[in-house]
């Protein structure tokens, strides 16, 4: 069955966020109307449901194979990639000058959602190319764009980001990979990179690696990092000195090759200026972090659909208030309160998280494409920078909780491989680690975006929240007014926490690290509350209009009743979120206010005494 819901996607795209109107404000030569959006969604769904979703389980079971430096992907993966290229999906976004279709970047998020929900491991092969495309479009020379960008946008070649080394982990400033200048202006790249997703495979004829390395006499640390484009196959058709030493045996995403790559004086080309690699890296990394947050939501959504289907079919025990299916030997488990808690938590995370990604995608569009008659680029950039660690860090944490709830709904049947539910848990676990762990996102959010930058992006986002609060109050609905009150309280508390952290960090910088993850998760719940407030406002408006039409005799069909149930379901999930999920912020507030002492006053010897 389809792994995600086109109806849910369209509800957010058209009704909640009005992407057609959004696209009309962008400085773009391409007209993107509702008809085009729906056509893209329909065609993308046909591709994902027909080509890659059937490979999800088989790809997980078979995995990738490494033999003497050659990587083979699971059966069917190569053919699916050929269909992807033939369908023009690789060029959906990107500069027309280099072969792209020039469509807004947020459209690629919709495609990414459909693909990752169907088969995350397969999707990572073309997805990694987006980061390389973004970096080369922003920082590459004209020659590099002609040589590499055209092939990436056609899908003939794929791309990777080669950042991590075994001794450095997330601290790329410790990188030792060297770049020695050659007489013709190229560089000889020497070093080993690990954990390179899609680092080698048999899907495309060439792979373009963006590699962080050091030129001679570069400064220590991150100030001395440069970026190079290093193809697996040289431009003259000869093999470059890039080899895959092994692929990792991983917990999940078995269908994607996570590689150890050796560069042995491989021929590479400097991107931009020397020692500016860290700045260029974040062009890739920030876009990738939005995608990783979306990947977590995609797995949560796919698991939710399976959970709802199972909960309606699985018979077990009777309702505490009497039989609900008296003609059956037991009631379907969806009648039991705690099963509903599990399902509603999954819905609150999956649907609210999707909304947050879409909202952030619109902000990214406004920054990259520019907005007609608008001079707020600085505020737009600040809000995007602020929301990025929340999308990546908080949504992946929430999504991992969600897929684990799916296992619980299935019970023992979720723990065995037969149903495929446990794969979602294994695949989702990596999203909390790669492209920067949750801890790194927490440090980035609190330490940089709130304290160092004095909360510039947070203040812009709060303007949006306050506008929503005003709209909820004007709606006249009791539920919506209560949501507005809760949002007022929680955002006031959020600002106070930020100021409190700032004060304590001045006396003890360890307070930032101690509070980082709790502040990140607190922020994630606030962001989801904002999204559920927007969803509820639109759902209530449409439900009121539908009820008014029914009262006049203009409705009453089965289709109209289904629409009313759909909208009522959105409101019910919003009520659940504000009643049951948002109060979790109290625990994070208490943890933040407890300070660093409980973490740092214990000695290493005491901590290690086991």
Show which residues are catalytic: 435
Residue 209 φ/ψ, nearest 5 degrees: -100, 130
Is residue 89 a contact partner of residue 78, using CB atoms and an 8 Å limit?
Answer: no
Token pair of 280 as six digits: 């260029």
Give bridge partners of residue 267 from the DSSP assignment. Answer: 188
Nearest-angstrom CA–CA distance, 422 and 408: 10
Q: Report how far Cα 175 is from the mean position of its chain's Cα atoms.
A: 26
Distance CA 609, CA 484 (A): 49
Supply the DSSP symbol for 74. Answer: P
164 neighbors 172 (Cβ within 8 angstroms): yes
As given in the structure block, the two tokens for residue 241 are 């000195």
Check if the beta carbon of residue 539 is closer than 8 Å to that of residue 364: no
The CA–CA distances, whole Å, from 320 to 42, 287, 336 equal 43, 49, 8
Q: Does residue 399 contact residue 300 with C-beta atoms inside 8 Å? A: yes
Residue (of 499, 497, 576) closest to 536 by Cα position: 576
Placement of tokens 């995600």 in the chain: 4
Distance CA 188, CA 241 (A): 9
CA gap 86, 155 in Å, rounded: 9
Closest residue by Cα to residue 577 from 525, 522, 540: 525
Q: Which helix (H) or strand (E) holds 344?
A: helix 337-368
In the block, tokens 């790669």 appear at 434
Task: Convert 295-329 to b/e letters by CB count within 10 Å (16 or more is b).
Answer: bbbbbbbbbbbbbbebbeebeeebeeeeeeeeeee
Q: Are strands 157-162 and 206-213 parallel, antiparallel or unpaired?
A: parallel
The whole-angstrom separation of Cα 374 and Cα 24 is: 13
């Amino acid at each position: 069955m389809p792994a995600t819901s086109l109806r849910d996607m369209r509800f957010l795209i058209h009704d909640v966020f009005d992407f057609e109107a959004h696209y009309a404000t962008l400085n773009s030569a391409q007209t993107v109307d509702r008809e085009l959006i729906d056509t893209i969604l329909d065609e993308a769904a046909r591709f994902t449901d027909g080509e890659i979703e059937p490979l999800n389980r088989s790809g997980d079971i078979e995995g990738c194979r490494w033999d003497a430096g050659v990587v083979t992907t699971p059966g069917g993966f190569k053919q699916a990639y050929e269909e992807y290229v033939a369908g023009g999906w690789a060029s959906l976004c990107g500069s027309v000058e280099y072969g792209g279709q020039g469509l807004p970047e947020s459209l690629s998020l919709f495609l990414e959602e459909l693909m990752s929900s169907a088969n995350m491991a397969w999707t990572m092969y073309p997805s990694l190319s987006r980061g390389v495309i973004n970096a080369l479009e922003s920082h590459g020379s004209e020659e590099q764009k002609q040589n590499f960008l055209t092939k990436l946008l056609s899908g003939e070649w794929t791309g990777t980001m080669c950042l991590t080394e075994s001794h450095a982990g997330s601290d790329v400033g410790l990188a030792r990979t060297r770049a020695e200048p050659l007489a013709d202006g190229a560089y000889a790249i020497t070093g080993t990179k690990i954990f390179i997703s899609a680092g080698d495979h048999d899907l495309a004829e060439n792979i373009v690696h963006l590699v962080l390395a050091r030129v001679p006499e570069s400064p220590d640390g991150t100030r001395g990092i440069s970026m190079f484009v290093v193809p697996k196959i040289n431009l003259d058709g000869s093999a470059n000195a890039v080899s895959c030493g092994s692929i990792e045996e991983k917990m999940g995403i078995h269908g994607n090759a996570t590689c150890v790559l050796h560069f042995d004086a491989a021929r590479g080309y400097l991107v931009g200026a020397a020692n500016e690699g860290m700045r260029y890296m974040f062009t890739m990394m920030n876009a990738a972090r939005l995608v990783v947050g979306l990947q977590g939501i995609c797995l949560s959504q796919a698991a939710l659909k399976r959970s709802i289907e199972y909960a309606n079919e699985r018979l077990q025990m009777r309702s505490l208030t009497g039989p609900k299916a008296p003609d059956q030997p037991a009631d379907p488990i969806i009648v039991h309160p705690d099963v509903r808690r599990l399902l509603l938590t999954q819905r609150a995370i999956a649907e609210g998280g999707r909304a947050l990604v879409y909202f952030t995608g619109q902000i990214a569009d406004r920054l990259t494409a520019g907005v007609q008659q608008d001079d707020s680029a600085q505020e737009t950039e600040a809000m995007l920078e602020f929301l990025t660690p929340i999308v990546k860090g908080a949504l992946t944490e929430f999504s991992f909780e969600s897929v684990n709830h799916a296992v619980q709904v299935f019970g023992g049947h979720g723990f065995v491989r037969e149903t495929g539910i446990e794969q979602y848990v294994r695949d989702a676990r990596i999203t909390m680690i790669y492209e920067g762990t949750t801890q790194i996102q927490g440090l980035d959010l609190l330490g940089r975006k709130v304290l160092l930058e004095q909360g510039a992006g947070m203040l812009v986002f709060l303007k949006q929240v306050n506008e929503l609060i005003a709209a909820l109050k004007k709606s006249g609905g009791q539920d919506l007014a209560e949501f507005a009150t809760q949002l007022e309280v929680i955002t006031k508390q959020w600002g106070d926490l930020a100021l409190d952290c700032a004060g304590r960090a001045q006396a003890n910088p360890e307070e930032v690290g101690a509070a980082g993850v709790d502040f990140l998760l607190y922020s994630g719940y606030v962001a989801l509350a904002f999204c559920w407030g927007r969803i509820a406002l639109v759902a209530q408006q449409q439900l009121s209009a539908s009820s008014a039409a029914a009262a006049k005799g203009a409705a009453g069909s089965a289709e109209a009743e289904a629409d009313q149930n759909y909208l009522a379901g959105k409101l019910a999930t919003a009520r659940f979120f504000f009643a049951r999920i948002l109060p979790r912020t109290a625990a994070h507030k208490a943890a933040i206010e407890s300070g660093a002492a409980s973490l740092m006053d214990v000695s290493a010897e005491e901590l290690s005494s086991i």
